[in-house]
Amino acid sequence: MTEVKRRGRPGQAEPAAQKGAQALERGIAILQYLEKSGGSSSVSDISINLDLPLSSTFRLLKVLEGAEFVYQDSQLGWWHIGLGAFNVGTAYIHNRDVLSIAGPFMRRLTLMSGETVNVAIRNGSEAVLIGQQECKAMVRMCAPLGSRMPLHASGAGKALLYPLLPEELVNVLLTTGMQRFTPKTIVDLPALQRDLEEAKHREYCLDHEEHVTGLNCIASAIYDDTGTVVAAISISGPASRLTPDRFDSQGELVRDCARDISIALGLKV
């Protein structure tokens, strides 16, 4: 009888487990809010924006602080993303064989193309930048690691799309939508399908000021040993330098680099 009372009704979660799950959800929400806020925020702003009691917010921050996921600025009292979060992110990146293998090829591509080289992976409905090799040009295009890009309107995003089967491609695009970012963004599904089919044929895709006005990008898909697309490598530069008359020659460099990385990952060609 005592055992039945302790368990409660079948399928009902233990109150302690419910509280633990709620605290975990709130802790994750705090980290996500700090990330979107540029890495730091005050406890009052966190409390207000996440609709949490101030006392609860502070207690959660102290727990996160104990695990080094956040730390508090002793002068302003603001809370910042800590070393623990960095370590987790670094472990994730290190587990991606593609990035460690791609390093030498990225440096070679930077030297040959004269442009910044990026490596991105797909995370749900977005491409996420996980690696970058900056070029030496005075004017260059760079973005922080972790930056997110639309799949349909960025070079890396389209390189992650064009290897997909037609049905899968349509499902992804219907889920993510096709937001317009510049006058050159392709927001018509048949037009984008044609663009990606051409990219698949030549093994590299173009972002001709489709995501950011004044920025051009050329990208190609990277495959693992099973032939599955796992990442994209791209070069990006100002439209005044990475001009359409250079697309073919630069595209071949990107394509060959992606192929070399794929072979290093075990792809049989």
Q: Output the pTM of the full model.
A: 0.67
Residues 37 and 152 occupy one common structural domain: no
- Residue 254 falls within a domain, yes or no? yes
pLDDT at 245: 96
Residues 162 and 239 occupy one common structural domain: yes
Residues 139 and 185 occupy one common structural domain: yes
How many independent structural domains does the chain possess?
A: 2
129 secondary structure, DSSP code: E
Residues 81 and 132 occupy one common structural domain: no
Residues 226 and 137 occupy one common structural domain: yes
pLDDT at 19: 81
Q: Which domain holds residue 19?
A: 14-88
| Domain boundary, last residue among 69, 88, 107 | 88
Residues 134 and 222 occupy one common structural domain: yes
Residues 37 and 116 occupy one common structural domain: no
* Residues whose CB is less than 8 angstroms from the CB of residue 110 and which lie 6 or more positions away in sequence, other chains included: 116, 117, 133, 134, 135
Residue by residue, pLDDT tens for the chain (269 residues) are 334 344 445 555 557 778 888 899 999 999 999 988 888 899 999 999 999 999 999 999 999 999 999 999 888 889 999 888 877 776 666 555 788 899 999 999 999 999 999 999 998 889 999 999 988 877 777 788 888 999 999 999 999 999 999 999 999 998 888 999 999 999 999 999 999 999 999 999 999 999 999 999 999 999 988 899 999 999 999 999 999 999 999 999 999 999 999 999 888 87
Residues 66 and 141 occupy one common structural domain: no
Residues 243 and 153 occupy one common structural domain: yes
Residues 219 and 251: their CA atoms lie apart, in Å, by 7
